[in-house]
Structure 1
Amino acid sequence: MGKWPKPAEGSWTEHYPDLGTGPISFRDSISPEFYELEREAVFKRAWLNVARIEELPRVGSYLTKEIDAARTSVIVVRGRDQEIRAFYNICRHRGNKLVWNDFPNEEVKGTCRQFTCKYHGWRYDLKGELTFVQQPGEFFDLDSEKYGLKPVQCDVWNGFIFINFDPEPRWSLREFLGPMITALDDYPFGLMTERYEFAAQNNSNWKIFADAFQEYYHVPSLHSQQVPSAVRQPNATFECGHFQIDGPHRLVSTAGTRRWLLDPEFMYPVERATRSGLVGPWRTPDTHFSAGLNPGGIEPWGITNFQIFPNLEILIYHGWYLLYRYWPTSHNTHRFEAYNAFHPARTVRERIEHEVASVVLKEFALQDAGMLGGTQAALEYGLDEPIVDDFPLSDQEILVRHLHHEAVKWVDEYKAERSPVGVGS
């Protein structure tokens, strides 16, 4: 995707002139028409993270993923050759959904030797090839080689499984991620396999929730109980140490927040008792070295949030990480998925430390989520002619500006590609 410039002294936004510095519109988050274009331009063309390889530990391990933005379901499976593959979850005979249990719209996972359709018994191997047809003599010149499962482009980076619905993606996965993200090639995500997951259905456009994790300007007001007293003072600033943009992707780093632990007002009693909380367990493995982990050279470093377009965020802390995904379900609703990943606990105390950190972080996210309904409702006032359509953003909100800029850019490029030559000339 390309290299990034060094930010100008005293400003982040002005160093990325394509973004501008004026007020922005949020029509891309309230328009049903824009959402339909976004589905095609973004979610059917970008690489999308759907799982990690630890979720498919052995031959025949599979999971399904329901992706409303593409209006489809996908099977992801580990083959006998250890390759990870993805297929549309559709039987080639009569279009029945191939892999599901009690409820067809619920995601499932398991292990199998082959996939068998519940309806008429057609079978497919782990490579998606059709291997069995009931009463093949009843068909007319049936060529089983032509009726394997329809594949979805699939690739893996550092244990993260991505798919792409474009049969011929414009970029390989590695090209799409670019140097800012692939600088984490050596980060040992695979060591952190103890996970605490949660998901929520939210009444907002997916980008509105993503915006909450792209800036810390809101922290003193919204998270007043979770910040030290110095940050809650009038006119106190809470600034990030480093912002960076590379193609459609973004990152934000903050300084070493562990110093907050010295402020007893910052902690809940359970945090003091368990020595764990918002920034994770107080004792964690030494921060894993990676050339890409702290590109701004912040000392003391605390957190870096890598935001991979369109809908993935990986927040790396000292010795553990947090992952978010935002899956659109309509122009003003989305499914939010999150999990914390730690090194496996060796003692009961370590397990408690992990659980406390997960609960406190979940509360933090719920405070952000509590704003979503109000934001979406207000943005939609006067939907065709919004009452307010120009919103000023601070320098600390550069990544909010960038996400919406990229979504509009991808849609505009998609529209231009499909405009008949000569129309309007």
Structure 2
Amino acid sequence: MPRFPKPPEGSWTEHYPQLGTGPVSYEDSVDPEFYELERKAVFRRAWLNVGRVEQIPRKGSYFTKELKVANTSIIVVRTTNGEVKAYHNICRHRGNKLVWNDMPLEETSGVCRQFTCKYHAWRYDLDGNLTFVQQEGEFFDLDKSRYGLVPVHCEVWEGFIFVNFAEQPEQSLRDFLGPMITNLEGYPFDKMTSRFYYRSEVKANWKLYMDAFQEFYHAPVLHANQSPTAYSKAAAEAGFEAPHYRIEGPHRLVSTSGIKAWEMADEMRKPIEDICQSGLFGPWDKPDLGEMPVGLNPAKCDPWGLDSFQLFPNFVILFWGQGWYLTYHYWPTSHNTHIFEGTVYFPQPRTPRERIAQELAAVSFKEYGLQDANTLEATQTMVESRVLDNFLLCDQEVLIRHLHSETAAWVDDYRRKTAGV
């Protein structure tokens, strides 16, 4: 799979000659056969983030994750000795889903001492060992030590829980992330425990939605109604260009300069933003989070707005200069549908006003996400018409080229390795 150096100044795309500058095909977003290859080549080989350690704060805490793209459900649990482990959510007896509540296809969470199958009451401890079989004497030569839960490779980085479905991962999680991501170590993720979550089923290929957040070329136009008319008109005419893009291994980064919302003219702010002292860019009161890691704000923007780290294949961490962050996940469910998850993280509010400021920021981002999603469903339907074979991209859309190129590289690599198997 290709590796890309940091570019010098100038056109970003031209300094990544492997990506080219010509029109790009979106066949990888409409072809069911490519999607089936993508599931095996990418989602069963790459490290996938499935949550954070705060979701399982003590021993026996667990949550399930439904992963249609990998054709499985998993259990993530904190064991008796404090380790984080993951297992396929399947009983070794007759294949029943082991952990679920009223609806078998819905995700769930909780705390327990052991997992008990609803079908025949087989029991497993937190380390996945089979500990009890109903009427064990009825079975033939049953050795319980051979029938524990099926493990999934699981590693934790900075509190983020990753799994890998390969029989043997080709890289450790840390090697997979690489320096651009590991240079974020030291960010106070553990202090960001005020959490807002939203989820949407989107009728578009997962890559098309990721593309929407890899460039800001669209922002002055698509999101114009989120700003006062005079400001939106001026922004649309002037356009917007991010000052820094970076590609490293399979991952990508785009940085932007910042805006001090409270210093904007009165006609450029919404009344609710003044009342809550918050808005799209987050609460105006920036918390003291200490020294930031070297990986943030590589362009040295002043003021700094945000860094959007796109972790291959489907995970985004977006850091805001105002002292908070959010994550996006894009979970494919078919070649033209996926589940989008957005989670916003702040430090715990100290006052009701701080809580309201956080809620306004979270709601603002939800509205932006809905605007993007609505456009993408329209994109998907017309790309599937195949009226056009390829599409033009500008210099600001270099990360879009990379996502589609990297996905194709993983698929080609998988084909080579499995040829004749």
TM-score tier by shorter-chain length is over 0.9
Contact residue 154 and residue 162 of structure 1 kept, 8 A: yes
After TM superposition, the structure 1 = structure 2 runs for residues 34-45 of structure 1, keeping only pairs within 5 Å, are: 34-45=34-45
Contact residue 197 and residue 338 of structure 1 kept, 8 A: yes
Counterpart Cα distance in 2 of 1:185 and 1:51: 17
RMSD (Å), alpha carbons: 1.6
Please state whether the residue corresponding to 2:37 is helix, strand or coil. Answer: helix
- Cα deviation code 1:256-298 (max 9, x no counterpart): 1225851334332211211101000011214651100111222
- In the other structure, the counterpart of 1:185 is 185
Counterpart Cα distance in 1 of 2:267 and 2:203: 33
Segments of structure 1 that go 5 or more residues without pairing to the other structure are none
Q: Which moved more, 1:298-307 or 1:233-242?
A: 233-242
2:311 to 290, 298, 308: 308
Please state whether the residue corresponding to 2:305 is helix, strand or coil. Answer: strand
Displacement after TM superposition at 1:3 (Å): 8.1
Instruction: Name the % identity.
Output: 58
Give the aligned residue type for 2:273: E
The alignment's TM-score, normalised by the length of structure 2, stands at 0.96
Give the aligned residue type for 2:252: R
Give the aligned residue type for 1:335: I
Stretches (4+) displaced over 4 A: 1-4, 227-231
Give the number of aligned pairs: 417
Q: Which moved more, 1:146-155 or 1:289-298?
A: 289-298
- In the other structure, the counterpart of 1:325 is 329
2:248 to 246, 249, 256: 246
Contact residue 346 and residue 358 of structure 2 kept, 8 A: yes
Contact residue 4 and residue 16 of structure 2 kept, 8 A: no
Counterpart Cα distance in 2 of 1:261 and 1:365: 26
Question: 1:343 aligned to 2:347?
Answer: yes
Q: Which moved more, 1:71-80 or 1:362-371?
A: 362-371
The alignment's TM-score, normalised by the length of structure 1, stands at 0.95
- In the other structure, the counterpart of 1:137 is 137
Give the aligned residue type for 1:22: G
1:379 to 362, 383, 389: 383
- In the other structure, the counterpart of 2:277 is 275
Give the aligned residue type for 2:295: G
| CA 1:266–1:32: 2 relative to 1, 3 Å | farther
| CA 1:393–1:261: 2 relative to 1, 3 Å | farther
Contact residue 48 and residue 163 of structure 1 kept, 8 A: yes
Please state whether the residue corresponding to 2:207 is helix, strand or coil. Answer: helix
Displacement after TM superposition at 1:17 (Å): 1.0
Contact residue 261 and residue 281 of structure 2 kept, 8 A: no
Contact residue 2 and residue 179 of structure 1 kept, 8 A: no
Counterpart Cα distance in 1 of 2:360 and 2:346: 12
Displacement after TM superposition at 1:220 (Å): 1.3
- Cα deviation code 1:203-260 (max 9, x no counterpart): 0000111111000000111011335745633641200011000101001000012258
- In the other structure, the counterpart of 1:69 is 69
- Cα deviation code 1:74-105 (max 9, x no counterpart): 00000011000000000000000000000000
Please state whether the residue corresponding to 2:238 is helix, strand or coil. Answer: coil
Q: Which moved more, 1:219-228 or 1:329-338?
A: 219-228
After TM superposition, the structure 1 = structure 2 runs for residues 21-420 of structure 1, keeping only pairs within 5 Å, are: 21-227=21-227, 229=230, 232-233=233-234, 235-258=237-260, 261-286=263-288, 288=290, 289-317=292-320, 318-381=322-385, 386-420=386-420
Contact residue 203 and residue 377 of structure 2 kept, 8 A: yes
Give the aligned residue type for 2:387: I
Counterpart Cα distance in 1 of 2:194 and 2:138: 51
Displacement after TM superposition at 1:299 (Å): 2.1
Displacement after TM superposition at 1:136 (Å): 1.2
